[in-house]
Structure 1
Amino acid sequence: MVSPPPLPTPIPEVRAAQPTRGSQLRLGGAIIKSPWLWVGSDQRQPEQLWLPLDVLVGRFGFQRQQSRAGEQLEWYGNKALLSSLPQRTIDDEVGIDVSRWLSSTGVRFHRSGNSLSIELSAPRVTGLRRGKGSTANRLVLDLNGPALLQRQGNDLLLGLRATPTQEGQLRAMGLKPRRRHNTLTLEGQGTALSTLTLSRPWRIVLDGLSTAGQAPRHGRDPFASSLLNPTIQGLMRRGLVLDRRVVKVGVKPLMIYRVGTDPDIQGLDLRPLAPTSGQQGLRFLNQLSQPAGALVSINGGFFNRVRQIPLGAVKRDGSWLSGPILNRGAVGWSNDNRLQFGRLRLYQELRVEGGRKWGLGYLNSGYVQRGFSRYDRAWGPVYRALSGHEQALTVIDGRVSSVHDRAALSRGVPIPREGDLVVARAGAPLPAQLGQQVTIRTTSSDPLGNQPNVLGGGPLLLKDGRVVLNGRQEGFSAGFLNQGAPRTVIAQDQSRLWLLTLKGAGGSDPTLLESSLALRQLGISDALNLDGGSSTSLLVANRLVMTGRGIAPRVQNAVGLVSK
């Protein structure tokens, strides 16, 4: 009998590397609170590295640029359509895999426990070139390698080496450079300058330099500096409260920045701050505040970070710029500035001649669901499809004037100045035919929706002095409800309305429940959570005095105090 051949050596079991998560970045000598996700077993070279999009823009120098094909993400010659990049959620942030982007420029990694170190050797500045004529506000820095470019509060940090002579040239241009180790800080330029990174040769382009030759003068502590502003000092003498304090919830200390006003005494109005020409796009908080003349402002409601469109209620002077979603918390007010808090839905009904009725789910919203949504000119002059299967009809003077197929919506269709665009998604049939008469009626689930000004967020934290936190009722996930994060809150007590930001005082950031309990300690009776995390920001006298992640964030909307 012939013995059978020996069995082949078993093939080793191949297992996918388990991702490693952390919440701290070491970048350019700074420690940053930020979620990250590493895929791969190598401690120094990831197969995938997922970082929040806001961190890439604010701490690395990535740019979001518009092109004919759509919005691009760019960094030192690498370009990709944002819509083509895989995305995943990291602690409620939009994450992008940038392992190849960073490795291609010589970035080095090392992870240890909860911390991820990211290093890039600081290049030398080989030349400074100031534009002339129409480009006089442009400065090009020629480099011998790529550099990290970070926005930290009000300052712009460049991870490069400059000579004393070059620093003198920057001062002569009206900038205020400060050198520490291998970082050159341009004080006060965190939101003033737009940036672009280029390769072959390596360059950083700074746009927006002042031509007046005046260097900004700011103290090192932005909050203390804001208290020296003459207008703010005058308001404080009339009773405006502007302070920061530590409040303990159990054993956890929280740092709370707060601005409190009796608007009648201080002569201030509370105003929603949002784009005027259309709802797509993100802006620094000062870019929303300055056109409205806001002396103090905080970031507002939620938004889609990739599409840069609102996800919740924004109503200004009686016009819905974006409608409420998911029965989420909202605050409404009129000229008396007394705030009304509650949870809000908007009921819209389209009635076709002959009596058939259709419910229109959302108004001017980036929240995409099967069924119908309505858009008017507050959304912008053009609507482009937000999902893959859409058709629409245009209503002018109560009559369906045109219909639009999927291809037309992908290209973009105009929204009439006096009319509506009704969009049907995910196979929903159009509710009316060309030429038919229709009427559209809108009602609110809560009286606060009838106020001329409304801002949505969620969850609702306090009502009449009681904790009313119920995030599930407002459509928030369990992970969102339980995580700690910097917070932005609009609130009131018996005598003042309050704009507040909260974060951990040297430790972990507050949960929503901890935020509610801290606010009760301050005597707050009604409070609404707004967008938080990296969006959290407080601007006083055009000075960014607090940010959630140390980054000057771009946001979709805000709320501020404006002189009457």
Structure 2
Amino acid sequence: MNIFATFPHSTNQRTRLPFSLLLAALFFSSASCSLAEARNSKKQSAEASQASSNEIAPVAREIPLSAATTLPRAIPASQTLKIASTPAPAAQPPVIAQLPPQVLQQGTQISLNGKTLPVAWLRWQEGNEQHFGISDTAAAWLGIELLNSSNPDIQPVNWFSDPQTSPILLKTLFRNPYRYLDLSFLAPQSNLKWQVSGETLTLTSQPAKVVNIREGQGEGGQRFVIDLDRATFWQVDEEENTATLTFTGTADPALIQRFSAQPSSEITALGKKLESVLPFLKAKLENAEAKILKVESSGSQVTLRLKIPESKHLKVSTLPNRLIVDITANAFVERAIVWQPGVIWRSQQVSVGQNRFPVTSLELDPRSGIGLRPIWGNPEGMTGTEPLVKMGRTWQAVAAINGGFFNRNIRQPLGAVRRDGRWFSGPILHRGAIAWDDRGNVKVDRLTLQETVTTATGQRLPITHLNSGYVQAGIARYTPEWGINYTPLTDGEIVVLVQNDLVLERYPGGEHGKTAFPIPPGGYILALRSNSASFDAFAPGTPVAIDSQTFPPDFANYPQIIGAGPLLLFNRQIVLDATDEKFSAAFNQEAAPRSIIATSDRGTIVIAAIHNPPNRRGPTLAELAQLTQKLGFVNALNLDGGSSTSLFLGGHLIDRDPSTAARVHNGIGVYLPPSGQ
């Protein structure tokens, strides 16, 4: 495919070519177009002459297998739903600017034909031309499908094109944390008008007319093909057993009636009376009442409502002027996108036993300057939870995955969180953890932090936990990393204030959750729980010292640590032992969505979300360990999962509907080097 460049219109910047070259280029272009038109005309005439009278359209072919479409089953020709193939418009290359783009406006909300969507957008200038774009991770909200790519600056997409022969190539522009798709190229094809009003980008497109709706069989279930007179933007909203496909368009009343007719109340009543006598009538009646597709039209919006059988999903793809709707058991689309240098976004399916698990991952290369940091819900302290999307934006991360476990009631961490060499939360129960630095060194193992407080008399008292929501009898320690205050987590605690290695004062904690005690700057609080014997060791004015060490010892050399567990892989071998890490038997056997962080033999770090295969809730820990091994990882750690599982990229979740994701306490944020901004 040739790449053309447009040049600024100012005379002092115009590129001049020899006149002979221009004539040659024009002649070659004209001859190529004429030959292509002749071939297309001859091909279409031949196909039309072979079309049988019972085909849906005179020119037809089966939908090709691709990331966007699914091959129909091998069924008799009289029953096969064929998709008429009209010549796809040639995909045009992106405009290549000579001057660096100048950002004019940006926001986080668009209005698409009157519907408001939380989508990041950008308006910028290149030369004499203005461009606009949206965050690529929100492209699916407009019905734009991202295809495989190896160049972060050019993104192939499928939008009423043929992804096999003529994908559309859109230029991208990265402005941290978003990678914007340049939609200026699509505007002429869709008669798309755009304008900026305050913080909102308003997009208006010409309604598409529904020419016909055809039914048939696709791979795995029912298929509907919606023939349109033009391309249009569309959205899908899928809930349990139902799905809604909406787009800007109009439909004839007769077509709407064909897909909305229901049996009359009299027929329904009669059928119910006779169903015991005529069993076959019951089946026909149920089929009529359970109509799969209903079509509605209001103003300039067409809505298709579909009933989705259990264990099936809606899969929507496009070809020129066609929406293809499949009700199938497997709607997952595999892809691999080089999103930025050092960041590869993958969607793939991995088989473990009889199940195929959908895996969405980001592969991160520290050698490209990619940095990772622990992040959490409340930057002012360790009490609080937030959706991962909000957390990632607060910490200005370009990507993130949920991290360790936490107490949902008190919203406090239950595992290691160490950032830039400071313990914001200590590890618990000798559970799995991952540690790393900015030089690409990574350590994965089970971790213990052992602390001891020594008094002036030489008495050494163990500290059970540091900055943790995990409660155990003994002495816990809370530093300013925990927050401004410490509020007792159990009744009857003794709160000891220490500053500059001297005990300042000790107070009765009273009822848990009631009184907030300020943590001394440069000091800490010791919380004595069910440990009255140590009360006398901390009289005001008593000198004290803290000794702290990790096991294994080299964990202390790493500035960044996140703890979760259980450990899955160590040096390519499965080392899963949930019991040793003090997880319950029920947790060990549960099937649920999972989040992991792993290392590869390529020197990269992978963060991934694994969700449900058909008829399942997700992998068990044993299946998860096998999955990570099949993916070729060297080391792998399980993170918090279930409703916490969330993977964030470029401003949006890329693994699940954000409405189904729970708030989380902490996560792992991903940062690009400054040169990538």
TM-score interval, normalised by the smaller of the two chains = 0.5 to 0.7
* Alpha-carbon distance in 2 for matches of 1:238, 1:177: 31
Counterpart check, 1:497 vs 2:617: no
Measured at CA, do residues 189 and 478 of structure 1 come closer, stay the same or move farther in structure 2, by a change above 3 Å? farther
Counterpart check, 1:250 vs 2:379: no
* Alpha-carbon distance in 1 for matches of 2:144, 2:625: 24
> 1:262 Cα shift?
1.6
Counterpart check, 1:329 vs 2:432: yes
Query: Which of 129, 135, 141 pairs up with 1:220?
Result: 141
Task: Tell me what 1:534 maps to.
Answer: 643
Structure 1 contact 188–218 (Cα < 8 Å) conserved: no
Structure 2 contact 595–641 (Cα < 8 Å) conserved: yes
Task: Tell me what 1:432 maps to.
Answer: 538
The one-letter amino acid paired with 2:140 is G
Structure 1 contact 222–545 (Cα < 8 Å) conserved: no
Measured at CA, do residues 474 and 515 of structure 1 come closer, stay the same or move farther in structure 2, by a change above 3 Å? same
* Alpha-carbon distance in 2 for matches of 1:215, 1:492: 32
Percent sequence identity over aligned pairs: 31
Task: Tell me what 1:345 maps to.
Answer: 448
Spell out, residue by residue over 1:397-433, the C-alpha distance to the aligned partner (whole angstroms, 9 max, x if none): 1110010112397311100121010001124433421
> 1:293 Cα shift?
2.6
Spell out, residue by residue over 1:46-78, the C-alpha distance to the aligned partner (whole angstroms, 9 max, x if none): xxxxxxxxxxxxxxxxxxxxxxxxxxxxxxxxx
Q: TM-score, normalised by structure 1?
A: 0.60
> 1:287 Cα shift?
2.4
Query: Which of 521, 538, 548 pairs up with 1:442?
Result: 548
Task: Tell me what 2:582 maps to.
Answer: 475
Where structure 2 has 5 or more consecutive residues not aligned to the other structure, the ranges are: 1-107, 121-132, 150-154, 156-171, 181-336
Query: Which of 383, 388, 403 pairs up with 2:506?
Result: 403
The one-letter amino acid paired with 1:501 is A
What secondary structure sits across from 1:287 in the alignment?
helix
Structure 1 contact 444–450 (Cα < 8 Å) conserved: no
> 1:560 Cα shift?
2.0
* Alpha-carbon distance in 1 for matches of 2:620, 2:355: 11
Structure 2 contact 593–619 (Cα < 8 Å) conserved: yes
**Structure showing greater relative contact order (alpha-carbon pairs closer than 8 Å, 6 or more residues apart):** 1
Superposed structure 1 runs of 4+ greater than 6 Å apart = 214-217
> 1:472 Cα shift?
0.7
The one-letter amino acid paired with 2:416 is A
Measured at CA, do residues 489 and 327 of structure 1 come closer, stay the same or move farther in structure 2, by a change above 3 Å? same
Measured at CA, do residues 546 and 420 of structure 1 come closer, stay the same or move farther in structure 2, by a change above 3 Å? same
Higher Cα radius of gyration: 2
Measured at CA, do residues 316 and 412 of structure 1 come closer, stay the same or move farther in structure 2, by a change above 3 Å? same
> 1:289 Cα shift?
1.5
Counterpart check, 1:544 vs 2:653: yes
* Alpha-carbon distance in 1 for matches of 2:363, 2:498: 44
The one-letter amino acid paired with 2:588 is L
Q: CA RMSD in A?
A: 2.8
* Alpha-carbon distance in 2 for matches of 1:417, 1:396: 7
> 1:488 Cα shift?
0.5
What secondary structure sits across from 1:277 in the alignment?
coil
> 1:548 Cα shift?
8.5
What secondary structure sits across from 1:385 in the alignment?
coil
The one-letter amino acid paired with 2:609 is T
Task: Tell me what 2:118 maps to.
Answer: 188
The number of aligned residues is 363
Structure 2 contact 492–511 (Cα < 8 Å) conserved: no
* Alpha-carbon distance in 2 for matches of 1:222, 1:318: 44
Structure 2 contact 366–438 (Cα < 8 Å) conserved: no
Structure 1 contact 347–443 (Cα < 8 Å) conserved: yes
Measured at CA, do residues 406 and 395 of structure 1 come closer, stay the same or move farther in structure 2, by a change above 3 Å? same
Measured at CA, do residues 545 and 174 of structure 1 come closer, stay the same or move farther in structure 2, by a change above 3 Å? closer
The one-letter amino acid paired with 2:409 is V
Spell out, residue by residue over 1:75-104, the C-alpha distance to the aligned partner (whole angstroms, 9 max, x if none): xxxxxxxxxxxxxxxxxxxxxxxxxxxxxx
Query: Which of 381, 389, 396 pairs up with 1:286?
Result: 389
Task: Tell me what 1:13 maps to.
Answer: none
Task: Tell me what 1:367 maps to.
Answer: 470
* Alpha-carbon distance in 2 for matches of 1:328, 1:304: 16
Spell out, residue by residue over 1:496-538, the C-alpha distance to the aligned partner (whole angstroms, 9 max, x if none): 1101110122231100110111111111010000000000000
Structure 1 contact 537–548 (Cα < 8 Å) conserved: no
Task: Tell me what 1:464 maps to.
Answer: 571
